[in-house]
């Protein structure tokens, strides 16, 4: 390896690469022997106003946040407040997943290495409906797709959980912990935790994306997405110059100046591989012939890879309008990072590894030739996806009901609330802070487009044997079965005044059944001489057993509006019940 690095050609290469990829702007940094040898920006941080990108421009670093979270955990381990391989429930009793056994075994290593068995379930945090602390309480309602420690499954939700663990064990907020324990001692002055705060600074990058609605290539400005709910997983914004300090901190084994912020042993724990992602290298999924990457692994907040025979500790980050890649080579004392203010780009990978190649003294890989066609191909797939979807549609069909019948509130204990309404002959659904228009696809299936993520998904309304719309199914997570989101009964069905009109004794084929209140907002059915059956509202005048979908009661009014009977459905039989008092 060369002992000195000639960086004079970096400028030309990065400018030429930026022009080739037609991205708005890029910032990059390179480190050798604990010193910054290169740090610059090119292109625009704000295209419309011709504001230049610089090394101090602040960007969302998205999932590169995870390395800060794992380092914070290492600090807590140093302090004896947490242990790497002790179940989380011993420290945080309220931590739970859907499976009881898995919940009792999960450790902080499992959480930080993405091997808990919980897949992404991304839509829970993306729509900004819940805070990161609220999401922790929704984990028990999310399907697992693997057994613990059997499979690598990237999961942002586990890092949200880790941020809560940091807060509960340290007694301060995640943001305060990272600010005082990391940002301040490292001198990271252009770093913060909110795109709202970032936009108050004088030098930040605006977000851009490819316009997939146009046939010709075009870059358009997109919206910032509030990243507060991604605390611990993707909430940090920083400049490449600040991130250079972060890489030097890791190359220097957790020391800043003469101060050791975290023990070398526990910091290295965050770097060492825990689980294998891909033996051949993750890029082989797209480019099978590639030979530069081998053995992709995941550590704790860091990925690992063998690159051309060198050990690399790295991580990527991607969110609306920003993609980045950082890496350090601990055995060669080298670090590098590149960040682009554009969604879904490979440019930062091409730029960063070019810097690494040159610092190592290797003939550079033709990264532009390798990755630019890959990005172009993926852009083509996204643009054509809508047309391909229409080919699977059953033509000449219509919904079972008028659209107003589908309107209402639906809820899933993990994913939260979906509100449907009919507007001018179209259905719309509001989930979180965003309302999506729905397009009829076929039968009772509708298509909604998540514009910010450039994908379309299908939801299918569920109709029960009584002809009621009781919910909808949707495949928001590819690795588990479709999620059933149940319809929420009308509010009046839990109103004591309404429920009081249903109370009384009824004759069911000679047996007396009493309908009584339970509390102020629910009723129970008590057959004489038997245990009470708790009922839950369905819709209109229909209730069902809380424990079984096979037993239901539908109340009926006479011409004067009085409740005079109900239909008792059980085990396939429908039995009329007359009110006797």
The pTM score is 0.92
Contact 197, 235 (CB under 8 A): no
pLDDT per residue rounded down to tens, the chain (581 residues): 344 688 889 999 999 999 999 999 999 999 999 999 999 999 999 999 999 999 999 999 999 999 999 999 999 999 999 999 999 999 999 999 999 999 999 999 999 999 999 999 998 988 778 888 999 999 999 999 999 999 999 999 999 999 999 999 999 999 999 999 999 999 999 999 999 999 999 999 999 999 888 888 899 999 998 888 899 999 999 999 999 999 999 999 999 999 999 999 999 999 999 999 887 766 777 777 778 888 899 999 999 999 999 999 999 999 999 999 999 999 999 999 999 999 999 999 999 999 999 999 999 999 999 999 888 888 888 777 766 677 789 999 999 999 999 999 999 999 999 999 999 999 999 998 888 899 999 999 999 887 777 778 899 999 987 888 999 999 989 999 999 999 999 999 999 999 999 999 999 989 999 999 999 999 999 999 899 999 999 988 999 999 888 889 999 999 999 999 999 998 778 999 999 98
DSSP 166-228: HHHHHSS-HHHHHIIIIIHHHT-TT-BS-HHHHTTSSSBPPPEEE-TTSSS--EEE------G
Element (H, E) at 577: strand 573-579
Helices then strands, counting H and E runs in the chain, come out as 15, 31
List, as own/partner pairs, every contact residues 560-569 make where C-beta atoms lie below 8 angstroms and the sequence separation is at least 24, other chains included: 562/501, 563/501, 563/502, 563/504, 565/506, 566/506, 568/508, 568/513
**Cα–Cα dist 451/527, whole Å:** 53
DSSP 257-312: TTEESS-HHHHHHHHS--EEEESS-GGGGT-TT--SEEEEEE-SS-EEEEETTEEE
**Cα–Cα dist 430/428, whole Å:** 7
**Cα–Cα dist 330/251, whole Å:** 6
| Burial class of residue 571 (count of CB atoms within 10 Å of its CB; 0-12, 13-18, 19+) | exposed
What residues have CB less than 8 Å from 548, skipping those under 6 apart? none
pLDDT digits (tens, 9 = 90+) for 450-485: 777 777 889 999 998 788 899 999 998 999 999 999
Q: What is the largest CA-CA distance in the chain?
A: 97
Contact 131, 235 (CB under 8 A): no
Neighbours of 364 (CB within 10 A): 15
Helix axes 264-271, 66-78, angle to 10 degrees: 140
pLDDT digits (tens, 9 = 90+) for 81-123: 999 999 999 999 999 999 999 999 999 999 999 999 999 999 8
Query: What radius of gyration do the chain's Cα atoms show?
Result: 28
**Cα–Cα dist 450/253, whole Å:** 42
DSSP class of 342: B
- List domains and CATH numbers for the chain: 8-384 (3.40.710.10), 403-487 (2.40.128.50), 494-579 (2.40.128.50)
**Cα–Cα dist 300/112, whole Å:** 5
């Amino acid at each position: 390896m060369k002992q000195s690095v000639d960086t004079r050609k970096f400028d030309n290469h990065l400018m030429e690469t930026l022009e080739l990829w037609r991205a708005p702007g890029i910032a990059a940094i390179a480190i050798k022997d604990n010193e910054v040898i290169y740090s610059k920006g090119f292109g625009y941080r704000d295209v419309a106003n011709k504001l230049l990108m610089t090394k101090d421009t602040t960007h969302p670093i998205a999932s590169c946040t995870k390395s800060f979270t794992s380092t914070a955990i290492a600090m807590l381990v140093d302090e004896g407040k947490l242990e790497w391989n002790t179940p989380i429930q011993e420290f945080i009793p309220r931590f739970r997943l859907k499976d009881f056994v898995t919940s009792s075994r999960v450790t902080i290593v499992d959480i930080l290495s993405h091997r808990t068995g919980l897949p992404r379930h991304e839509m829970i945090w993306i729509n900004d409906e819940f805070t990161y602390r609220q999401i922790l309480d929704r984990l028990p309602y999310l399907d697992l797709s693997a057994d613990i420690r059997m499979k690598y499954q990237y999961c942002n939700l586990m890092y949200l959980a880790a941020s809560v663990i940091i807060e509960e064990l340290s007694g301060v907020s995640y943001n305060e912990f990272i600010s005082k324990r990391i940002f301040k001692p490292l001198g990271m002055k252009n770093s913060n935790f909110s795109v709202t705060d970032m936009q108050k600074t004088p030098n930040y990058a605006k977000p851009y994306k490819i316009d997939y609605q146009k046939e010709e290539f075009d870059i358009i400005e997109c919206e910032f997405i509030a990243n507060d709910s991604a605390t611990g997983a993707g909430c940090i914004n920083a400049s490449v110059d600040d991130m250079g300090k972060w890489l030097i901190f890791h190359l220097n084994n957790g020391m800043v100046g003469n101060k050791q912020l975290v023990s070398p042993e526990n910091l290295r724990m965050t770097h060492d591989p825990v689980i294998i992602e891909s033996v051949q290298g993750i890029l082989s999924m797209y480019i099978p012939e590639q030979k530069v990457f081998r053995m992709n692994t995941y550590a704790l907040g860091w990925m690992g890879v063998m690159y051309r025979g060198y050990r690399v500790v790295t991580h990527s980050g991607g969110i609306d309008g920003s993609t980045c890649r950082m890496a350090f080579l601990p055995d060669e004392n080298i670090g590098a990072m590149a960040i682009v203010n554009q969604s879904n780009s490979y440019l930062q990978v091409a730029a960063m590894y070019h810097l690494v190649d040159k610092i190592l003294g290797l003939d550079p890989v033709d990264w532009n030739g390798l990755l630019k066609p890959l990005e172009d191909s993926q852009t083509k797939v996204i643009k054509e996806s809508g047309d391909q979807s229409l080919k699977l549609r059953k033509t000449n069909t219509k919904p079972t009901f008028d659209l107003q019948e589908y309107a209402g509130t639906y809820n899933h204990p993990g994913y939260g609330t979906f509100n449907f309404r009919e507007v001018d002959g179209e259905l719309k659904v509001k989930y979180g802070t965003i309302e999506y228009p729905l397009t009829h696809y076929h039968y009772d299936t509708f298509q909604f487009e998540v514009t910010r993520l450039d994908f379309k998904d299908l939801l299918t309304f569920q109709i029960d044997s009584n002809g009621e719309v009781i919910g909808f199914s949707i495949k928001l997570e590819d690795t588990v079965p479709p999620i059933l989101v149940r319809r929420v009964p009308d509010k009046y069905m839990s109103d004591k005044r309404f429920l009081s009109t249903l109370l009384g004794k009824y004759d069911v084929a000679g047996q007396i059944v009493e309908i009584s209140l339970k509390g102020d907002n629910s009723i129970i059915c008590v057959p004489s001489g038997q245990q009470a059956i708790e009922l839950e509202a369905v819709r209109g005048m229909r209730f069902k057993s809380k424990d079984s979908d096979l037993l239901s009661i539908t109340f009926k009014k006479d011409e004067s509006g009085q409740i005079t009977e109900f239909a008792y459905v059980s085990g396939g039989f429908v039995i009329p019940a007359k009110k006797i008092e």
